[in-house]
Structure 1
Amino acid sequence: MTKKYQGSARVKRAQLQALRKDFETLQMKKLESVTDYFGRVMGTANKMRIHGDKLDDVTIIKKILRSMALKFDYVVCSIEESNNIDEMLIDELQSSLLVHEQRLN
């Protein structure tokens, strides 16, 4: 392995580590829309995948559900109880949360 390759691999690992930390600490802001929050989560998740992370959709869905604003607590409980999270699609989750957001507004 050349030093240049080792250096770029080290930089890539450091970037991925920073992205993982960003992903773990993401929380929906009190006045943030579902669309904006999904955009932030998916933006970070896609960067992680570009850097070689094997992040799956179930992990993203679980992250979103546990980091929603408090006003969505009852919706999150309902979604978790009535769906198989392991088989759910990100688009399905987003659609469901958007419907509830529209009702809240």
Structure 2
Amino acid sequence: MKKKYQGNARVKRAHLQALRTDFEALHMKPGEFLSNYFSRMMAIANKMRIHGEKMEDITIIEKILLSMTSKFNYVICSIEESSDIDALSIDELQSSLLVHEQRINHDVKEEQALQVTTNNHSLTSRGRGRG
């Protein structure tokens, strides 16, 4: 029984070490949606907790804030300045960042719509001017 448990402990340690490496290397990919990134982050963090890692929410929050893409820089600065990071929950952080992501995506869609409208207008006006 003792040998069997020691084998399980070694396997558990090896899994935990691999998960720590994955956690440290985790960064948000350019163009990745925030919800997908949070899912990847929480999947690794939960596996680490299952394997015995005593990971607190503040560790996950700090990792998220450090590993976001640059388009979130100013909202991260705002969150760090206006909130007590120690009292912030992962859900609160996620909601704040999701609101920001929705605004960014809305602005990008409006900008693209304006470009399409401008391009169509310039194409039609070119043909009418010569006649």
Same fold by TM-score, threshold 0.5 exceeded?
yes
Higher relative contact order (CA 8 A, sep 6+): 1
1:9 maps onto 2:13 in alignment = no
Root mean square deviation of aligned Cα: 0.8
Tell me what 1:33 maps to: 33
CA separation in 2, counterparts of 1:2 and 1:50?
21
CA separation in 2, counterparts of 1:41 and 1:32?
13
Q: TM-score, normalised by structure 1?
A: 0.97
Structure with greater Cα Rg: 2
Tell me what 2:57 maps to: 57
Residue identity matched to 2:66: R
Tell me what 1:90 maps to: 90
Question: Number of matched residues?
Answer: 105
Tell me what 2:74 maps to: 74
Give 4+ residue runs of structure 1 displaced > 2 Å after superposition. Answer: none
CA separation in 1, counterparts of 2:43 and 2:14?
18
Q: Which structure 1 segments of 5+ residues have no match? A: none
CA drift of 1:4 comes to 1.4
CA separation in 2, counterparts of 1:5 and 1:24?
28
Q: Which structure 2 segments of 5+ residues have no match? A: 106-131
The C-alpha deviation readout for 1:39-80, integer Å capped at 9, x for no partner, is 000000000000000100000000000000111111111110
Residue identity matched to 1:55: M
